[in-house]
Structure formats: C-alpha cells, structure tokens
Structure 1
Amino acid sequence: MKTIEQLNTLGIHPTKKCFWNLPVSKLVEQTLQKKQGVLTSTGALACDTGEYTGRSPKDKYIVKDALTEDAVWWGDVNHPFSSEDFENLYNQVAVHLSNRELYIKDVQAGSKKEYQLNVRVITETPWQSLFANNLFLRPSKKELETFEHEWLILAAPEFKADPKKDKTRQHNFTIINFTKKVILIGGSAYTGEIKKGIFTILNYILPHDKRVLSMHCSANIGEDGNTAVFFGLSGTGKTTLSADPSRALIGDDEHGWDSESVFNFEGGCYAKCVNLSSEKEPQIFSAVRFGTLLENVRFYEGSDVVDYDNIEVTENTRAAYPINFIDNAKNPSIGGTPKNIFFLTCDAFGVLPPISKLTVGQAMYHFISGYTAKVAGTEAGITEPQTTFSACFGEPFLPLHPTKYAELLGKKLKSDTVNVWLVNTGWSGGAYGTGERIKLNYTRAMITAALNGKLDEVAYLKHTVFGLQMPTECDGVPSNLLNPKNTWENKEAYDKTTDNLASQFNENFKLYESFANDEIRSGAPKIANLEKA
C-alpha cells in the first residue's frame, strides 16, 4: 500500500490530500468538482491548458553532468542545466507540491518488458493524472501492489520559476536529469511536456545503452504479420495514413525497433483534433468518448458539442485516449520487424515524386533531413512555401546526435532487408498556389501497392536530381502523376524549383556533414547546374 513515507523520501511532505492511482471515473469527477473541465456531448472531458497550448522547446533542459556531458548533443535542441541549479529548483517544486492536493499515477513506458520503464507521475490536477493514465501503459492491480518507480515526473504548472535566480529562460521549464532519473516540469500545464519528456528519455536510453532504434513514427500491421512504419512531421498524414481499417494499429507516435520487433512506447494516443470529423478520421472521432481528455477545444454556441474547426485558442487542439479506444488496435502493441518504411513529406513545391524507392544511403540521408514544407496560411507571415527540416522526423526530442540514429537505421535496413519509400502527400503540377494537392485516395493506393508487393513488379525511372527511383505505374494512380516533371506545364520552372529545393537540402545537411559517414553523404541530391539553384 502506498504511504506518505514514499513522498517524504522525494522531499515532498504533504499537508493536503494525496490521491493514489484513482480510476478514470474519479479523476473526471474531481476535475468537474474543481471546475477545471466540462463534459462534452460524447462524454469526453474538456480542459484548457492555460498559458501554454503547446510545448516550449526553448525552455527544455538536460542536466549536464558526468553521465551526459560527452553523450548528449548540446546546442539549439538540448540546453544544458547545472546539477546545482536543478537541485535548487527541485527543492522549491517539492515545497510547492507539499502544499497542494496531489494526484499520483504509476504507469509504464515501453510495450516490451525487457525495455519497460516504471514511471511515477505526480501532478497538481486530476486531469493531468488522467492524461498520464491514458497515454502511458497501465499496470495491472497486481503490478501496482509491488510497483517501484525508476523514473519520477513532478508536474507543477502553478509553480513559476524566477529566471534570474533559478537560471531558466522564463518562468516555465522542463528539466531532465538522467542521473537522478527525474523530469521536473513547472509553469506550464500543457500535458505534451509529460509525454515528450518520457520520449526524450527513451531516445537516450534505447539507442545509447540498448542499441534499439527509437522512432518518432506510427506503425501498423497486416493480417499476414507485415509491419509498416510511417515517419512524418505534422501535416504530412502520419496519423491518417497509418489508420487503416484493414490493418491493426501498433501505435500512432513513438516506437522502438530491436532485433526482432517494432514496439509501441505508449499505451494511448495524443491525436491532433483540429478539423476532426467522422468522415475524415472515423477511428479518432469515435475514440472521443468518456475517459478521453480533450485539450483547448471550443463548443458550438449554446451547446456541449465540440466545434473541431474552432481554433480560437489554438490549432493544436488534442485528444488523449487509451489505445484500446481504437477499434483495431493491436494488443500487445508489438509487431515484427518492418517490411516497409514510409517517409511522409508534404512537399508544397511540387518537386518530389508522389512515391519513390530509396537506397540505404538515401534512406539515411532523408531520415536525417526530416523534410516537409509549410504552406501559406498555416502560420502568420508565411506567404509562400517554406522548407522545414527536423532531423529524424523528431529533432526536438533527440538527446543524441542525429547521425547516431541514422547510422543505427542503416544497420537495421541492411540486416532486415526493408523497403524504404519517400511519399509526397503535398503538391503536383506546380507549387502551392499553382499545382494541386495529391489526392488522398491516390496516396492510399500507392501505399497499398507498396505493402502488397505490387511495386516490386514494375519498372522504375531515376529522378535526375534527387536520384530517387520512381515507379512507372501503379494500380489506381494515373501514370502521368508518378513522374512529377510530367505534371508541370513549364518544365524549365520545374527544373529550377527542383534545384532550389535540392540546394536547401544540401544547406541543411551541412549541420550534420562532418559527423556523417560516406553512405549517408551518398544520399544527397546532385544538382547538375549549380548556377540555376
């Protein structure tokens, strides 16, 4: 049985009630009683996260000590924090939490037992505890009886740091201490900080200590046991394309790949729900029911019906629910090693083929590039397409240098003989504003053909600049669409746009070139006429 003594050993000396591993119904009930949320028409709990409606990457730190000094990729992504300053902040947060009602949730991360982490999450609010319950793996009653945490998360949104005294950038912070095995969160109630804090930990432990590739991706599996993995940044279709009624969902966001399997890190999903509808994403839509936590949504006037098109608070509205709320979720969330990997990109320049096959070198290069493009209107000030590169399709969560993950990917591709596909879910026939968005049913047809082995039976053409292998035919897709240059009226404009995009790839790669091996470098695009770029 859990006791106050366990909190005392953490420096927390409660003066108010502490609630251990409350069931979902009680967490919802207490949230409503405290007027911290409301029920929607489907029974889901809707809460606001307050000042922060998304992660704050510039305020995320890693304690720099003997364990991490030479291992972590320090710089714009991983900001160092001293052990002394961490101790100071930890003690302040412990005192703060001692004077609050506390909600303790014991959870696990990692579907494979040999890599599983026991995590204790201590929060100020019941709905944050509901989030931890939904997103992580839920131990059995028997496991809870003997539960000992390895990692600790203290989430104190009402605690605000003093930047001058506490050495933070501003009043909010997320600090990871690998030596103490603690994640300290203050000044922000955005629950994504809890989720991605654990992901960052696994991105350090698994590749560094276990030689397991950690991946920011979705994964599903066919009836024949054929596992597929989908990488992609926001807006590329990662969640949509991996949600396939004919295939079981392994997970939608975070996975590991060891010598024999792909396994989910989580026990739930944290789906974006802007513009959510039963027509476009029926599985996610039906998952929004009692037990689900909705964040920062708004309602149709005078009702309790969620208006998913309303972005009054943020475009980053979210639904957090257990993975078994998805009808065809696989249990346990483990599949075999992947037969196909899809890198999804929304190329708003209309340059990249709708589907192409990559060599191992190209796969490593495109993995480390993590390319997509933002289109006009998605963010203030963007009036034309802009390139976005995020190493390994998850740069903000990588404690190690990106080449470590890319080289590990390359070794696995060779040992397991995997097909790697680059899929453009963006534009064809011209850039955004001139061309047209590639139809979703075409993209689905190409992915299905790849999964079924149909693309192994067709001829390929090599892209002149990017060197990608483009299939010349695919069932259900106009052949003209498969070579992007064919869809442009102005071929010279296509060549110029292609060279320009290639030059941006090459410029971005300079960040990693000195750390990359020759095989990764071989995957770079080759610009025939540099003056045109």
Structure 2
Amino acid sequence: HDTIFQPDLSRTQADVFKDPMKKERITWMLRYGFLNFIEYFAVQKKLQIVISSDGRKRRLTRIAQRFGIYDKLKAIYGAEHIDKWDYLKRLDKILDQCQVEARDAVFIGDSQVDQFSAEKYGVAFIQVPNTVSERAFSFNSFLEIEFGSGDYGLELIDLHGIKQVSHNLATPQLVEEIIRRNEGVMAHLGPVVINKVEFESAADIGVYLVREPSSENDIHWSDVVSPVEIEGYHRIFDSLKDFLKDQSVYIQDCYAGSEASCRIPLRIITQDAWPNLFARHMFRHVSSEEMESFFPEYTLIHVPEFKASAGGDENISDNMILINLLKKLILIVGANSSNAIRKAVFFTLSFILPKNDMIPVRCSAIKGDDGSLSVFFGRDQALKNSLCLNTNYAFFGDDCHGWTQNDFTNMEWGCRTLVDGLDEIMDPRIYSATRKFATILENAGIDEKRHIIFERKNPKYHSVASFPIAHLQHADRSGVSAFPKHVFIIVKDSMGVLPAMGKLTREQAAIFLLLGYESKWDLSQAEEFPTISYLPYYTSDLAFYRESFYAGLLYEKLERAQSQCWILNAIPVGPNKNNTAVVNLTLLRRFVSAIQSDKAHQFKWHMDSYWKYQSVCGFAGYPEAMLNPEIAWEGDRDRFVVVNQMLKDSFSNRLSKYENDLSPAIKSALNWFED
C-alpha cells in the first residue's frame, strides 16, 4: 500500500506544531496519478488490478473506499497473505485466485521485499520511487495516452463528441483566434481589448465543492464554500458534456507552480480563445520536451455559456466554480471574467498544497539585488502591484504563492491587475505592459484610433489587464526564493488613527492578517464614522481553512523565517471628515525602499501610545502630522480618543470569536493593544 498511498503532511487544528510524520498521526492520500491509472487500466483497458500489502485488509479496504477506487479493484490482499517463513508476499495465491499465469502479470512495488516476492514467483517487476524519496512521482507515467494528438486524452474525463480541439496554441495564434471569433479587437501596439461588457466580481461567483468521502472531513464548510452532493455534480457534468458536443474547444497544458518538486500539471479547457490566452499568460508553459511525458493531474473546464440550472439544480448559482477534489476536475460555468480561472486554480491549490507541507499565501512579492524577498499583504490588489512593479527591485510574483519548509515559490507566471484610471506617471511599468502585444484588457475603453482608454466600459466592474511576466523589464523568473525577509501588511484605515508605518512582532502580524481590517467612508450617505470591515488574510480563497488554524500555520512560517514585519497605512492619518482620502503612493514607496535597503535608521521611531507598537514619527521631507496620528489629531483630541477606543473595541470583539482556537503564541498576544 505504500506504493499507491503517501502520507498526508497537512496538520490539524489540534496540533499545528506537532510532527505530521509521527507514526500514530499518519493519514494517507493517493499518490499522484493513481486515479487516472485505475480509470485507464481497470475501466478502459479492462485489466485486473490487485493490491498486495502487509497491512490490515480491513483498513486498506476502508481507505480504498474513501478514495472511490474500491469497486474498481479486483481484490485487496493484506497481512494474511504474507509468508510466515520468509516474509515475502504470496503472489502465487493471488495468481491462482485471479486465474492468471505469472507471465501475464506485472508487480509494481517500491521495496526490496516487493522485488524479491516478484522474483520468487516469476512475475515481472517494475520498481517505483517510494514516498519518502520522491513525493512528486506520478502514476500517470504508466499511461499510454498521447495528450498532444488523437483525442488529446479527453476520453479519460469522459468528454466525447468535441468537433474541434485547438491544442496548446501559441500566443500569436490565440490572438488571431480572438480576432477571428470577434471576441475582442487589437488595440494600438498589440494589446487585445475584450468585447464583452458583462463580467463578474469575485463576490458574484459562487464556489461549490463536491461532498465526497476523501475530502469532506478536511473542508471548513461555510458561506464561502458550499457543498454539492455527488448526484448533483453528475447531473451538472452530464449536462455540460451534452452542451459541449459538436463544439470547438481550446486546450492549454501548463503547470501551476514554479518549483519542479511541487508544481501541479494542469490542463485548462476553454470554450473561448481569450480565456485560453489568459491561462497561457498566468501559468508556466509546458516545453516541447516536457510535453512528451506531460500528464495533467487536474483539469479545468471553462464554459461561460453553460448555466448550471440547466442541470436541474435551481439552488446553485449560474456563475459558479464547482470543484471535485476526488476526480481532480474543476468546472467553471456562467462566469466570464478571467478572475474565475485564477480563483478556481488557487482555491484548489489551497487544498492540495498543505498535503505536502506547504501553505498557500495570497500576496505580491519583489526580490532585492541581494536575493532578499519582500511580500505584501492587503485587500487592494492594484495598490500591492503598484508598490511592487514601480520599485528598483525585481518583480517576483503577482498574487498566488506557496510557502514550503525550505523556500517560497511563485504559483503563477503572469500578472493580473486593476487598471481603472491607470496613470503613466504614477505606474510606468504597468502602463508599459498594457501597451505590449497580447496583453488582455477586460472592461476597458478604446478610441477610434485604437488607443486604450483606461476607464470602465461597464461602470459596475473594474478594468483589468493581464499579461505574462515577460512583459516586465525587471522581473525575477526563477519562481523560487528563500524565505521572505520582509512582510508588509497594507491597511486602509479611514478611521485615521493607525500610524503611517509601524514595526510589528510576528505575533502582531499574524493577528493583523487574521483580522484583515479595513475601514472606508460610505459616500452614498452621511456617516459619523467610517464603516469597519474584516476579510481574513485579505482574501476569501483560503476558505478551506478555519481562519484561526491558518493563523497558526502562517505564524509558524513567519517565526521559522524570522521575517521582519511592517504595517503600512495607505490612507493619510488624521481626521478625514467623510472625504475620499488619496493614497500617498510616493510616501509608501519611500517606506518600502528604505526597509528593503536596510535603511530603517532613516526613520525616527517611537512607541505608539495607543496601539503599542513601534511606529515612525519622523522621516526626512515629511511633517510629523503625516506620520503620527496623535499630532494629526491635535485639534480634536477628544474625538481622537473616542475613535481609537471604537476601533480597539471592534478589534477585541472580532478577535474574541477566535480566542479558543488560536495557538498559544498568538493567543498570548491577542489583546496587545489593550491598556
């Protein structure tokens, strides 16, 4: 059984800091590709597959049932078939009961015992790497499927009757398809402006998971992650397959992730050409040499014209992401925006990565000349990208990363950023990238001479640009880095009471990220105070986890890396009086540059008397009233005290819901700001 199962290295809520490899804790997951192996050889080729193990048959049966492979196996043999004299496996018993000659069988194993057992009974033997030496090994290597020709492997996911398949088209070919199909128009200098005017925000796209035995106990079911029963999934998928018959599709084979040992082979099938180009921008390409042995571990199918309600499920959103973790199949239906593809992939990775002792991280990142990495957390993706792309440092990653026990890796190979009102002076690198060939622009305008107008064509949705990392002049394309040296948390505090910049302990940083705090004025109505909101870790795409549990995982990584943690307030400090305060990008960039260059001595520091962390109260060229809220509020001291206490009370109330589930180190620092 060690040949087909590997230890699940993810931790549980109860033991965040304990060793997942301790014998009494080990749980199992299928090795990569084994579901495909079973489907191909047992179902399509009609071969008999038997598990020969020295484990307990009842336990092995339970595991096989959990992963949905039990009914496809001929038999399971446990410890009862081990020879008591030489401890080899009695393959002769298996051959006899299956009525198969030794010459017509093959034994796949990972140990010397397996090899000696095969030799003793004259059975051909194939050795595979064991789970300790090679976790990345995949059973897909046994499959005789030409993914670059024929039916392109679509039969393996039971997809039949496709009229035409366009496989791994290059960027110029996809641009030609977009123009030919009238999906978009080419603008001045070569970017592509998509014609559609109806897109979706992240909140408009429902995320559903198929409830099945292999994963249901690992999922934190919530308003963000809703279950779909297996029967409902089959109804939707069967209707989708019927919908796709006699239609054309585009296939892009790629990798999610940069590091070879943990990247996920991914196949993206799209109904339209422009989402296929987006996939080509965002994920690592498969080279011609790699394509010879490429086998997708996960398949994503994007069909915006199909409605889930057509499958008879009226309670499911028509704009939806439906993930079947057992089948390793992701369906996106109804949703037009490119964000649906990235959200679906990262949502799925958020479940996969911890199984290999890696945690998913939503942040932007830059790398200094000395190789040191700085990462940026915050709700405003455009602001994070603006800080990362307009510095003297190499751009490392846009938004989706993985943090392993040994390094920090980029899961994407491109950039997707908001470009509402994009300014050439303030954001020169992003502006330059939007003027290059094949950059995708969603919901942007275009004039009669095909020049881009960075205004929303449909006012309900943002204008968005997507482009490959190659469009950036200064980018680190290794995809792998040492642990982050600096962690920046960007908050928008319209309450006006948080300092412009502060230095946090790692415990405080974990708590701020757990909160995901932001406040802003609602300009549609007269308010006495801004509206306070919380979005843990500034994303809903980590909803597989209990929020407090992820805080422990993230704190563990920060502590091991000994990262220095900083908080940046993007809103000018002081009383804003219900107006739209403008983000001071120049000041934020100077803060980041000084920290990244190890020049924190340029700042004058003091302990903020209200928030109890070191904050900047002096910086050359800036008056103290721009940095220190206590000075900024000098004219209204009483209101300053009231607003501070209001925000503290809000923090305390929010954190109280997590108090019983946090790791000891974070729990001890939970109310550091209280008097």
Name the structure 1 match of 2:596. 451
Letter in 1 for 2:166: F
Offset, 1:259: 2.9
- Tell me, yes or no, if the aligned pair for 2:200 and 2:461 is still in contact at 8 Å: no
Partner of 1:387: 532
Q: Distance in 2 between matches of 1:351 and 1:523?
A: 19
Q: Which moved more, 1:9-18 or 1:323-332?
A: 9-18
Any idea what SS the aligned residue of 2:250 has? strand
Q: Name the aligned partner's letter for residue 254 of structure 2.
A: V
- Counterpart code for 2:481: G
Deviation, structure 1 residue 196: 0.9
Identify the match of residue 366 of structure 2 among 220, 223, 233: 220
Q: Distance in 1 between matches of 2:519 and 2:344?
A: 26
1:124 to 2:271 alignment: yes
- Cα deviation digits, residues 169-188 of structure 1 (max 9, x gap): 33222111111111111112
Alignment of 1:434-473 (within 5 A): 437=582, 439-455=584-600, 460-473=605-618
Counterparts in 2 of 1:142 and 1:5: CA distance versus 1, 3 Å: closer
Distance in 2 separating the partners of 1:58 and 1:435: 29
Comparing 54-63 and 495-504, the one that deviates more: 54-63
Quote the offset at 1:318 in angstroms: 0.9
Residue 271 of structure 1 is matched in structure 2 by 417
| Residue of structure 2 equivalent to 1:161 | 308
Q: Which amino acid aligns with 1:495?
A: V
Distance (whole Å) between structure 2 residues aligned to residue 164 and residue 431 of structure 1:
51
- Equivalent residue number for residue 171 of structure 1: 318
Kept in 2: contact 1:105–1:122 (CA 8 A):
yes
Identify which of 516, 520, 524 aligns with 2:666: 520
Higher deviation after alignment, 469-478 or 480-489:
469-478
Q: Are the aligned partners of 2:606 and 2:616 in contact in 1 as well (CA < 8 Å)? A: yes
Q: Secondary structure of the equivalent of 1:308? A: strand
Query: Which of residues 94, 98, 102 in structure 1 aligns to 2:249?
Result: 102
Confirm whether residue 196 of structure 1 aligns to residue 343 of structure 2.
yes
- Cα 1:61–1:434 change in 2 (3 A) is closer
Q: C-alpha separation between the residues in 2 aligned to 1:52 and 1:138? A: 27
Alignment partner, residue 550 of structure 2 = 405
CA distance in 2, matches of 1:290, 1:437: 32
Q: Which moved more, 1:24-33 or 1:4-13?
A: 4-13
**Which position in structure 2 is the counterpart of 1:428?**
573
Q: Highest relative contact order (Cα 8 Å, sep 6+), 1 or 2?
A: 1
Shift of 1:228: 0.3
1:134 corresponds in structure 2 to 281
* 8 Å contact kept, 1:236–1:425: no
CA contact (8 A) 2:456 2:462 kept: no
SS of match in other structure, 1:410: helix
The residue aligned with 1:508 is 654
Q: Which residue of 1 aligns with 2:69?
A: none
Residue of structure 2 in register with 1:308 after alignment:
454
Report the secondary structure of 1:4's partner residue: coil
The equivalent residue for 2:380 is: 234
Q: Cα offset for 1:86?
A: 1.1
1:330 aligns to what? 476
Aligned pairs for 1:333-348 within 5 A: 333-348=479-494
Contact 2:390 2:427 in 1 (8 A): no
> CA 1:157 to 1:235, structure 2 compared with 1: closer, same or farther past 3 Å?
closer
Gap regions ≥5 residues in structure 1: 529-533
For 2:339 and 2:583, locate their aligned partners in 1 and report how far apart those are by CA, in whole Å: 31
Structure 2 letter corresponding to 1:121: I
Q: From 637, 641, 651, give the equivalent of 1:491.
A: 637
Larger Rg: 2
- The residue that corresponds to 1:415 in the other structure is 560
Please tell me the residue identity of whatever aligns with 1:253: D
Match of residue 474, structure 1, among 604, 619, 622 = 619
Contact 1:427/1:435, CA 8 A, preserved across alignment: no
In structure 1, distance between residues paired with 2:576 and 2:227: 40
Size of the aligned set, in residue pairs, is: 524
Pair 1:243-2:374 in alignment: no
What per-residue deviation string (whole Å, max 9, x for no partner) do you get for residues 181-235 of structure 1? 11111112222111111111122222x3122231110000111112100011026
Provide closer, same or farther for how the CA distance between residues 310 and 438 of structure 1 changes in structure 2, counting only shifts above 3 A: closer
Q: Structure 1-normalised TM-score?
A: 0.92
CA drift at 1:122: 0.6
8 Å contact from structure 2 (residues 304, 333) kept in 1: yes
